[in-house]
């Protein structure tokens, strides 16, 4: 039996990105994926006007409060907002393994954020890696010391680009112990 996953747009996220993400997750992990047809708009009460960013932990709780009772095993918010947690300047994502909720923040995954030319494929691969990473946290995985493993910590976009969209053997084994099977494509050699 597969786990159920809700992909929830938070702020405007193009539907083609959400559908591709849904398909890729279903093809490579034993998830039954639903893409929400509603877009949630983060409340400004969770916005830090001095920083120009949302407080990620507040958005995570807000998503859970709104969607936690729907019965999905996991919820991943795809958020078109910039966010941070103290003491960090920003985060690419955040997860709560107890509540089974994860968020991925899009702005810093876009090449244009770094004054590079738009590159949809590069952006999408970064997004997919971060979704896998945050989902891994919801299943109890910590940060991995194998730098190519998708569970390695990303301190910068260079770290995101360096790691693979795949789990190392140790992380794959841990996922199997909690009933999560990944395709060979998502396993490091």
Other beta carbons less than 10 A from residue 32's beta carbon? 13
Active site residue 134: yes
Distances (CA, A) of 47 to 44, 50, 56, 57, 100: 5, 9, 9, 11, 23
Catalytic residue among 65, 118, 134, 164: 134
Burial class from Cβ neighbours inside 10 Å (0-12, 13-18, 19+) for residue 64 reads: middle
How many angstroms separate the CA atoms of 101 and 52, rounded?
Answer: 24
Q: What amino acid positions are annotated as catalytic residues?
A: 134
């Amino acid at each position: 039996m597969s786990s159920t996953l809700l992909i929830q747009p938070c702020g405007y996220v193009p539907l083609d990105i959400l559908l591709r993400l849904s398909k890729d997750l279903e093809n490579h992990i034993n998830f039954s994926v639903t893409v929400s047809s509603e877009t949630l708009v983060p409340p400004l009460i969770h916005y830090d006007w001095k920083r120009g960013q949302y407080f990620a932990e507040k958005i995570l709780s807000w998503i859970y409060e709104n969607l936690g009772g729907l019965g999905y095993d996991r919820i991943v918010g795809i958020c078109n907002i910039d966010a941070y947690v103290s003491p960090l300047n920003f985060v690419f994502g955040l997860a709560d393994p107890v509540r089974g909720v994860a968020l991925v923040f899009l702005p810093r995954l876009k090449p244009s954020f770094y004054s590079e030319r738009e590159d949809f494929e590069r952006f999408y691969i970064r997004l997919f890696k971060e979704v896998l990473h945050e989902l891994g946290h919801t299943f109890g995985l910590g940060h991995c010391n194998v730098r190519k493993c998708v569970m390695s910590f990303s301190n910068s976009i260079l770290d995101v680009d360096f790691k693979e969209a795949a789990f190392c053997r140790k992380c794959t084994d841990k996922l199997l112990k909690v009933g999560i099977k990944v395709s060979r494509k998502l396993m490091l050699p």
